[in-house]
Amino acid sequence: MSIDHLLKRRPVDFDIHDIDLFSAEDQELKELSSTLGLSLSLEEMWTIRSHFLRIGRIPSDVELQSVAQAWSEHCCYKSSRTILKENVFSIHHPDVLARGDAGVMAFDDEHAYALRIESHNHPSAIEPYGGAATGIGGILRDVVCMGAQPIALVDPLCFGKPDRDLDVPPGVKHPRYLLRGVVSGIRDYGNRVGVPTVAGGIYFDERYTGNCLVNVGCVGIARRDEITRNHVGGVGDRLILCGGRTGRDGIHGVTFASADLTAESEEESRGAVQLGDPIMKEPTIHACLDVNRMGLITGMKDLGGGGLSCVVGEMALDGGCGAVVHLDRVPLKEEGVVPWEVWVSESQERMMLAARKEDVPRILEMFDLWDVPATVIGEAVEGHHVKLIWGDEVVYHMDLNFVTAGPEYCRPFVIREPTTVECVEFPQLPALDDVMLSLLREPNIASKEWAIRQYDHEVRASTVIKPLQGRMNRQGPGDASVMKPVESSWRGLGIAVGCNPWYTAEDPYNGGMASVDEVCRNLVSVGARPHAITDCLNFGNPEKPDRLGDFRDAVRGIGEVCRRLSIPIPSGNVSFYNESAGGVALPTPVLLGTGIVEDVRHCVTSDLKAEGGALFLVGETRDEMGASALFRRFGGRGGKVPDVDVDMLEHSIDLMMDAMSAGMVAACHDCSDGGVAIALAEMCIGGSIGASIDLRPMGDLPMTVRLFSESNTRWVVEVAKGREADFEAAMDGLAVRIGTVSGDTLSVKDGFKLGLEAMREAWTSLATMLG
């Protein structure tokens, strides 16, 4: 079917069409939505038609494209908003200073920090290097436009299994290729802009084969009086577009992100992947933060999804204004970019500033010093309409209240019954020595040093606790990193990730809760008190009730724990449609948590410190093997997914923080994948020292459960010499003595005995495998 007769070309010397929605049949409306790349439903097309019928004219292509951007799942959260409002947005805390493009939290009396995480999944599945790099670029802008200097990047990634001989379906790229591309993209962009990559995670599962997940988080620091608004100050403010030029790259990025991937995505959507330029970004950050510090701007917002079409509307509307923009003044990368493309392009490295007219010349001078383009393209006006002008022609004139009032759906969902303890099928296990080595080799547990050391995690010189911890050139894994962002203060900010897609797949509610528990455990392990969380919620197609049910339950679990612990979630991101022909990605809520360290000089690392140190297990171990690393590795089925006792979590955090401040803790590592056994092995590897362990005090449980159960809210702690009794008393019955640091083997009574080198060799095998 042709829809050409609905496209009315205007008699002007540039390319613009009006779209005759009035005479279009329903089938033609659908065809329009698909041919023009709008990703709008028929119902949404009807709503738009009604609006223009009221106005009494048909829309231009610029207008129609603009509404499609604003109403995409990516921009308006139409399927998730109701669920998020109920569970996440409603957690209030006096330390939340702003909820803008990034959340802003109080750091100390003079400083605040900004945090945000988002996904760049679909672009990375098509073009891993560029997708990941521009993901970094986007999250940096979210933090910068709050007026904050980025100080840390965090990159949790999910891929299919990295086996060399894996067969992948048509249109899907091999996980190893994606992994290499993504890590290189993060490395080349993050290292070039000079922001350390301090935390993350790489998760492997066959359900990510056609749906890799690339989440990117950023934390920034600002003086409190430098926190900016994301909107114009008032009528007459000039709109200054700065940074990169605008081109055809990144057209329809948000509508592309709001649909499933198909085998044809590569061909059809290559243009939706933006091109990154860190060496434009780096001076743009300098210039933006400089003019902000100089008090020259009234507001700032980054150009991300939807490009100019989203940023102009939101900046004007939130400032109680309308806007007039001269679209033909936007600096272009190439000739012949037509008005609607300029309006929705997602070309990278661009920021929009609002400023009083008299401050414009100085701002332009500052950008010129850095050789960064900056152009006045419009101004804020009375009212709530945005008008776009190209030459002398008005190409767009719309009421912001209509454009930004995107649909909000309460889509149907179904809640699944979680698996129960009764249907547990314990796997056949080899000897425990071999089980241990096999788990250490498992790509989800094995060392990620290969990636970590390609990222500069120390630039800015404020990473006081690093992602790898222990003896130099023999480090083990850390649970969290700690930044010391203010030169004159010992106060620190812990940064950690919590994510367990396997729990979430089997039991979304417990999975959501467990993610919060994990991020808290990780922060506490280094001596940081959990303070805020930003979440990236990666799920399947929300139009399918079971996927939305998973989403709803996971969010409910996250919200439940955060509310009771009083941990706000001041920013976040939802990524739906992580589906491809091969199936749906694991439901993956990724949490980036921040914690306050009162004095970084009291921080603790995971590596065992000294011969004779007393080892304790903190927290209760239950028979919770469901979705455990052991079951995944050796084919166990069913079992209870670890539950979270929120009161116990809260109490444990308090006791652990007190013990750490009192200097009782020499080393600490949380128990997660692989349980107590893997935690102990990793602590030995980092400290290059063994331990002699007896797990009988853990209670009446089978040895395999003691070793590998992944019950939440647990840590292995090495207590400083002479403080054993103090620690045991302080922990109020939550800690049991399980052994002593000694020798060069990890030996567990009635369990296994492994030498340090054997464990290290197994744990570092992933690097060898990836080459």
Partner 1 sequence: MKKVCILRIEGTNCEDETFAAFHKVGAEPERVHLKQLTGHAPLDLRRDLMDYDILALPGGFSAGDYIRAGAIFAARMKASLGTQLRDFVTQGRPVIGICNGFQILVELGLRPAFDEVMAPQPQVALYTNDSDRFECRPTLLRMDNRGSCVWTSGLGMGDVVMFPSAHAEGHLKFPAGEEDRFLERLDENDQIVFRYVDEDGQLAGYPWNPNGSPGNVAGICNPEGNVLGLMPHPERAMTRFNYPEWTRGRDGDDGDGLRLFRAVVGRN
* CB 389 within 8 Å of CB 326: yes
Select the residue interacting with partner 1 from 83, 604, 630, 683 (CB under 8 A): 604
Single-letter code of the amino acid located at 358: E
Candidate segments 112-120, 225-233, 580-588, 603-611, binder of partner 1 by CB under 8 A: 603-611
322-326 and 374-381 beta bridge pairing? antiparallel
111-119 and 103-106 beta bridge pairing? antiparallel
* CB 58 within 8 Å of CB 22: yes
Question: Among residues 120, 385, 457, 531, which one is catalytic?
Answer: 120
- The answer to whether 118 contacts partner 1 (rule: CB under 8 A) is no
Least distance between partner 1 and beta carbon 659 (Å): 15
The interface with partner 1 within residues 442-471 (CB under 8 A) comprises 452-466, 469-471
DSSP state at residue 720: P
Least distance between partner 1 and beta carbon 290 (Å): 10
Tokens of 347: 């070309």
Torsion of the alpha carbons at 570, 571, 576 and 579, rounded to the nearest 10: -110
DSSP state at residue 422: G
3-state secondary structure 203-256: EECHHHCCCCEEEEEEEEEEEHHHCCCCCCCCCCCEEEEEECCECCCCCCHHHH
Tokens of 304: 């991300």
Q: Which is nearer to partner 1, 558 or 660 (by Cβ)?
A: 660
Does 120 qualify as catalytic in the annotation? yes
- The answer to whether 763 contacts partner 1 (rule: CB under 8 A) is no
Q: Which is nearer to partner 1, 301 or 457 (by Cβ)?
A: 457
The interface with partner 1 within residues 181-210 (CB under 8 A) comprises 187, 191-194
DSSP state at residue 507: -
Q: Is 540 helix (H, G, I), strand (E, B) or coil?
A: coil
Select the residue interacting with partner 1 from 358, 371, 422, 647 (CB under 8 A): 371
Q: How far apart are CA 579 and CA 550, in angstroms?
A: 14
Cα–Cα nearest to 579, from 587, 571, 570: 587
Q: Is the torsion defined by CA of 695, 700, 703, 707 positive or negative?
A: negative
Least distance between partner 1 and beta carbon 129 (Å): 14
Select the residue interacting with partner 1 from 100, 138, 210, 278 (CB under 8 A): 278
Q: Which is nearer to partner 1, 283 or 306 (by Cβ)?
A: 283
Candidate segments 239-247, 277-285, 313-321, 562-570, binder of partner 1 by CB under 8 A: 277-285
Least distance between partner 1 and beta carbon 282 (Å): 5
Q: How far apart are CA 91 and CA 569, in angstroms?
A: 7
- The answer to whether 294 contacts partner 1 (rule: CB under 8 A) is no
Least distance between partner 1 and beta carbon 299 (Å): 24
Q: How far apart are CA 239 and CA 474, in angstroms?
A: 53
Does 326 qualify as catalytic in the annotation? no
Q: Which is nearer to partner 1, 19 or 218 (by Cβ)?
A: 218
- The answer to whether 267 contacts partner 1 (rule: CB under 8 A) is no
Candidate segments 228-236, 410-418, 500-508, 596-604, binder of partner 1 by CB under 8 A: 596-604
Q: How far apart are CA 392 and CA 168, in angstroms?
A: 53
Site map (CB under 8 A) of partner 1, residues 696-725, x = contact: ------------------------------
Q: How far apart are CA 318 and CA 315, in angstroms?
A: 6
- The answer to whether 283 contacts partner 1 (rule: CB under 8 A) is yes
Question: Among residues 5, 17, 51, 74, which one is catalytic?
Answer: 74
- The contact set with partner 1 (CB under 8 A) reads 187, 191-194, 278-280, 282-283, 365, 369-371, 452-466, 469-473, 475, 484, 487, 600-601, 603-605, 607, 609
Report the catalytic residues: 74, 120
